[in-house]
Amino acid sequence: MKTWMKLALAVVLATGIAAAAGLYTAWRYVETPVEAESNATTVFRVETGESLRGVSAKLEEEGLIRHAEVFRTYGRYRKLPLQAGEFELSRAMSPRQILEVLAFGKPILYRLSFAEGLTMREVAQAVNATGLTTSERFLAACRDRDYLLSKGINATDAEGYLFPETYFFARIPDQNPYPILDALLEHFRASVADLPQAGDPAALHRLVILASLVEKETAVPAERPTVAGVYANRLRLGMLLQCDPTIIYGLGETFDGNLRRSHLQDASNPYNTYVHPGLPPGPICSPGKASLQAASSPEEHDFLYFVARSDGSHQFSRTLREHTNAVIRHQRKGRPFPTGNTQGD
C-alpha cells in the first residue's frame, strides 16, 4: 500500500475514533445524573421568557447538572421549548431527563378549594393561603370594574361570582391575581349557562343576590327551592325580606356573633332587609350551583315564613299566626328575632 494511502487511512481511523469518543462522551453526559443514589428533590422555577442559557446556569448553581454550557449545547441540539413554571427535579435525574421535564413535564400545581357560602374576603384569604398571590391583590382585582364589565358582570365587585369549587394552578408570574379570578369567573359562567337569566347581566345579578340569600339561609339541599319561593313570594307582595344573614353581612367585621334588636332597626345598614325593601344592594356570599338553580326557578307555593328547627332544617308557614307558633315551638330559648329566619311584619 502506498504511503499516502496509509496516511489517509490512519487519518480516517483517527477521526472516526475521535468522533466515536466524542459521541460516547456526549451520551455519557446526557445520561449520567449528578448523584444517582440521591432521594432528595428540589423545586426548580423557570420564569416566563427565561433563556436556555439562564436556565442552564441556574441548574448548575443548584447542583442539578454539571457543565452548564454543555447542557445548553445539548438543549440547543434538541430544540425543545422550555415551559415556565415550577418543576420537581432531583440530582438523581440525568440531564436528558431534566431537559424533558422542563419541556414536557407538568408544572407543580397549587390547590385552591373553598365551599359555598363564603364572602369575597373569605375567598381572598383562601387564595392568599396558596401563596399564589396576596389577598390584597386578589381583592383589588375583584373590584376592577372595567375587568368585571368585560366579563359581563354588572356589579361593583365580584362578590357572589366567585364560584365555589376545587381549582389547581401552576405558579403565576409576579403573583398576578387575574388568572385565578379568570378561572373562578369562567366556572361561574359555565355553571349558569343553562339558566334563563344568563344572557342579561342585570337579571343575572339579581339572581346571584337571591341565590346568595338562599345559600346562607339553609344547608339542607332539598329546602333551597322552597326558601327561594318564600323570598319570591315576599318580593311579589312587597313584604320586607327580613333575612338575618344580610344584616350580618352589612355589619362586616363589627359583627360579634350576636344579632341584636338594634341591628334589626338600624337603617344605616344598607343590607338591613328588616328596614329596606326588596333585595339587598348586592350578593352576600358566593352561592353554589344548587342555590343558583333554586333562585332561578323558585318553588311555587304560598309560604311566607320559615323558622329553623334544632336539626338545621326549617318549618315553613303560610300565616303570621302559624309562624309565631312555630317560633315559640322551635326557638323558645332564642332571641325575639332568631338568626337565619324570615320573620313576620
pLDDT 10s per residue in the chain (345 long)? Answer: 555 444 444 444 445 454 555 566 777 898 999 998 888 899 999 988 899 999 999 999 999 999 999 999 999 999 999 999 999 999 999 999 999 999 999 999 999 999 999 999 999 999 999 999 999 999 999 999 999 999 999 899 999 999 999 999 998 888 999 999 999 999 999 999 999 999 999 999 999 999 999 999 998 999 999 999 999 999 999 999 999 999 999 999 899 889 999 999 999 999 999 999 999 999 999 999 999 999 999 999 999 999 998 888 999 999 999 999 998 888 754 444 333 454 444
Give the per-residue pLDDT at 21.
Answer: 53
Give the per-residue pLDDT at 337.
Answer: 39
DSSP, residue by residue, 282-345: S-SS---HHHHHHHHSPPP----EEEE-TTS-EEEESSHHHHHHHHHHH-TTS-SS-TT-B---
Both 227 and 293 in a single domain? yes
Give the per-residue pLDDT at 1.
Answer: 55
**86 forms bridges with which residues in the sheet?**
45
Give the per-residue pLDDT at 28.
Answer: 87
Number of domains in the chain: 3
Give the per-residue pLDDT at 38.
Answer: 83
Both 181 and 149 in a single domain? yes
Both 206 and 186 in a single domain? no
Full domain range(s) for residue 184: 109-192
Is 18 inside a domain boundary? no
Exposure string over 25-39, b if 16+ CB within 10 A, otherwise e: eeeebbeebbeeeee
Both 113 and 97 in a single domain? no
Separation CA 207–CA 45 (nearest Å):
43
Contact indicator for 74, 99 with CB cutoff of 8 Å:
yes
Give the per-residue pLDDT at 14.
Answer: 43
Both 271 and 163 in a single domain? no
Query: For 106, which DSSP code?
Result: P
Both 218 and 131 in a single domain? no
Both 304 and 294 in a single domain? yes
Domain-terminating residue out of 161, 192, 223: 192
Domain-terminating residue out of 159, 192, 225: 192
Is 5 inside a domain boundary? no
Name the amino acid, one letter, at 217. Answer: E
Is 250 inside a domain boundary? yes
Both 138 and 158 in a single domain? yes
Give the per-residue pLDDT at 48.
Answer: 85
Domain-terminating residue out of 144, 174, 192: 192
The owner of cell 315564613 is 305
Give the per-residue pLDDT at 340.
Answer: 44
pLDDT, one tens digit per residue, over 302-329 is 999 999 988 889 999 999 999 999 988 8
Is 50 inside a domain boundary? yes
Give the per-residue pLDDT at 341.
Answer: 52
- Supply the CATH number for residue 43's domain: 3.30.1490.480
User: Which cell numbers hold the place of 107?
Assistant: 408544572
User: Which cell numbers hold the place of 74?
Assistant: 445539548
Separation CA 20–CA 260 (nearest Å):
87
User: Which cell numbers hold the place of 159?
Assistant: 362578590
Query: For 275, which DSSP code?
Result: T
Is 218 inside a domain boundary? yes
Both 215 and 321 in a single domain? yes
